[in-house]
């Protein structure tokens, strides 16, 4: 079996109680971003714009010129300095008229690059069809953080603070008497923990868990809703974290908690056999190599013997890697163990 390099990123996803602020594990219902989208034109390109095959670009340019009393048939337009784009943005909660937000500009034609271009005035609409912002400005390509695109993707660009808010999403929090929390992960135990922590903090019944994710809140008489929610978000609770193994099949990356145990099981995958024994001691013979306490391998037969109390997903991954197992082999073995019930953590494939 060919030995290849493999990188395992190990994070702690094991289930345990830890102190978390409520604002880190729950959202206030109704306080969220709203998606905006618009269709526009980018001009000023250096011959890298859409060609004559992008009929919608030529039509849009013709319509634009007609608004300034320049009438021209789309078929007579030969310029490659223009590109049709889709403009997207997020309208943050409580945004006010005049606030500025970033926009992402993406080519939808056959333009080769948007570098050096300028987005013309583009209305950005919500799902209700109403205009919430107007975008315009010079495009930026590059940057390593993903916000400004990437040199490998020159048809995607950013305009930082390139849109001005024109319409507000009304959310009158101040006059409300009731609010609702939505936990980011469904869990009855955590919902009850949030309920109890809030009630203990205010010394009265102001929170009621309605299901595994929702917690209803009632504003105390001596506080405004804004003051109440500000205090609620800062309350610490004993939060039960989730046991999870995350597998990215595209990049062959496994992210697992270092303390996720594996129950006794025998798995055969190709010419590799893994035996997880319930016994406390392993019998090591001359043909086996003692990797560490409770773990032994037989390189000649590709057999791995592991003691139950010593087996974690992280240790298993390291041992399999030393045996020359490929990333796909390791992923397949973990998936098989999960199906066999030997791993009680959640297996998430992305």
Task: Convert the pLDDT of each residue in 142-156 to its tens digit.
Answer: 654 444 445 557 899
What is 73-120 written as a DSSP string?
-GGG---SS-EEEEEEEEE-TT--TT-EEEEEEEE-SS-S--TT-EEE
| Other CB atoms within 10 Å distance of the CB of residue 16 | 13
**Does pLDDT of 137 surpass 60?**
yes
Tokens of 227: 């003051």
Domain end, chosen from 141, 165, 189, is at 165
Domain end, chosen from 238, 261, 289, is at 238
Work out how many domains the chain is built from and give that number: 3
Q: Sign (positive/negative) of CA torsion 111, 114, 119, 125?
A: positive
**Does pLDDT of 25 surpass 70?**
yes
Domain end, chosen from 102, 133, 165, is at 165
Task: Name the phi and psi angles at 60, rounded to 5.
Answer: -65, -40
In this structure, are 234 and 255 located in the same domain?
A: no
Q: Choose among 101, 103, 85: nearest CA to 44.
A: 85
Q: Sign (positive/negative) of CA torsion 106, 110, 114, 115?
A: positive
pLDDT at position 296: 65
207 within some domain = yes
In this structure, are 204 and 313 located in the same domain?
A: no
Residue of 242 and 81 predicted with greater confidence: 81
**Please, which pLDDT band fits residue 79 given cuts at 50, 70 and 90?**
confident
Residue of 350 and 39 predicted with greater confidence: 39
1 within some domain = no
Average pLDDT over every residue of 202-228: 94
pLDDT at position 104: 96
Report pLDDT digits (tens) over 286-321. 444 444 545 666 655 556 666 656 677 777 777 777
28 within some domain = no
In this structure, are 224 and 318 located in the same domain?
A: no
Report pLDDT digits (tens) over 252-275. 677 776 677 777 778 787 777 777
CA distance 227 to 205: 17
- Is 313 in contact with 334 (CB distance < 8 Å)? yes
**Does pLDDT of 281 surpass 80?**
no
Mean pLDDT of the chain: 80
Report pLDDT digits (tens) over 173-192. 888 899 999 998 888 999 99
pLDDT at position 136: 97
Q: Can you say how many angstroms the Cα of residue 244 is from the centroid of all Cα atoms in its chain?
A: 15
14 within some domain = no
- Is 280 in contact with 290 (CB distance < 8 Å)? no
**Does pLDDT of 284 surpass 60?**
no
In this structure, are 73 and 90 located in the same domain?
A: yes
Whether the predicted model's global pTM rises above the 0.75 cut: no
18 within some domain = no
Helix/strand/coil for 205 = coil
**Does pLDDT of 139 surpass 90?**
yes
315 Cβ contact list (under 8 Å, min separation 6): 292, 295, 306
Percent over 90 (pLDDT), the chain: 41
Angle at 315 between CA 311 and CA 320, to 5 degrees: 110
Residue of 30 and 348 predicted with greater confidence: 30
In this structure, are 54 and 138 located in the same domain?
A: yes
In this structure, are 181 and 136 located in the same domain?
A: no
Span of 59-68, 99-108, 145-154, 339-348 with lowest mean pLDDT: 145-154
In this structure, are 230 and 277 located in the same domain?
A: no
251 within some domain = yes
In this structure, are 139 and 186 located in the same domain?
A: no
pLDDT at position 297: 64
In this structure, are 111 and 220 located in the same domain?
A: no
Report pLDDT digits (tens) over 31-65. 889 999 999 999 999 989 888 777 888 888 888 88
Residue of 273 and 279 predicted with greater confidence: 273
In this structure, are 343 and 227 located in the same domain?
A: no
**Please, which pLDDT band fits residue 10 given cuts at 50, 70 and 90?**
very low
In this structure, are 63 and 156 located in the same domain?
A: yes
Q: Helix crossing, 188-202 with 225-233: angle to 10°?
A: 120
**Does pLDDT of 83 surpass 70?**
yes
**Does pLDDT of 209 surpass 60?**
yes
9 within some domain = no
21 within some domain = no
Percent over 70 (pLDDT), the chain: 80
In this structure, are 95 and 210 located in the same domain?
A: no
Average pLDDT over every residue of 281-286: 49
CA distance 245 to 11: 10
**Please, which pLDDT band fits residue 211 given cuts at 50, 70 and 90?**
very high
Instruction: Supply the range of the domain harboring residue 203.
Output: 177-238
Q: Choose among 198, 227, 180, 224: nearest CA to 206.
A: 198
């Amino acid at each position: 079996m060919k030995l290849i390099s493999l990188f395992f990123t190990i994070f702690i996803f094991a289930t345990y109680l830890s102190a978390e602020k409520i604002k880190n594990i729950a959202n206030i219902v109704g306080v969220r971003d709203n998606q905006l989208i618009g269709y526009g034109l980018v001009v000023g390109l250096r011959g890298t714009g859409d060609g004559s095959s992008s009929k919608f670009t030529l039509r849009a340019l013709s319509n634009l010129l007609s608004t300034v009393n320049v009438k021209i048939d789309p078929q007579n337009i030969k310029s490659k300095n223009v590109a049709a784009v889709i403009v997207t943005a997020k309208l943050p909660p409580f945004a006010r008229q005049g606030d500025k937000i970033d926009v992402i500009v993406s080519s939808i034609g056959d333009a080769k690059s948007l570098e050096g271009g300028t987005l013309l005035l583009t209305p950005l609409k919500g799902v209700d069809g109403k205009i919430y912002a107007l975008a315009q400005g010079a495009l930026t390509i590059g940057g390593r953080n993903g916000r400004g695109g990437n040199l490998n993707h020159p048809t995607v660009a950013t305009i930082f603070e390139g849109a001005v808010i024109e319409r507000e999403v009304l959310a009158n929090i101040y006059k409300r008497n009731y609010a609702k929390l939505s936990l980011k992960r469904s869990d009855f135990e955590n919902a009850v923990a949030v309920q109890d922590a809030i009630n203990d903090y205010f010394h009265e019944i102001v929170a009621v868990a309605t299901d595994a994710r929702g917690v209803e809140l009632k504003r105390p008489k001596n506080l405004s809703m804004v003051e109440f929610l500000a205090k609620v978000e800062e309350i610490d609770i004993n939060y039960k974290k989730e046991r999870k193994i995350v597998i990215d099949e595209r990049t062959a990356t496994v992210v697992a908690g270092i303390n996720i145990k594996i129950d006794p099981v025998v798995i055969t995958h190709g010419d590799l056999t893994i035996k997880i024994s319930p016994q406390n001691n392993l019998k090591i013979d001359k043909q086996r190599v003692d990797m560490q306490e409770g773990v032994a391998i037989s390189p000649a037969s590709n057999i791995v013997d592991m003691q139950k109390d010593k087996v974690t997903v992280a240790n298993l991954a390291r041992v399999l890697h030393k045996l020359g197992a490929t990333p796909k082999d390791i992923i397949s073995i973990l998936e098989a163990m999960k199906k066999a019930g030997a791993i009680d953590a959640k297996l998430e494939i992305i």
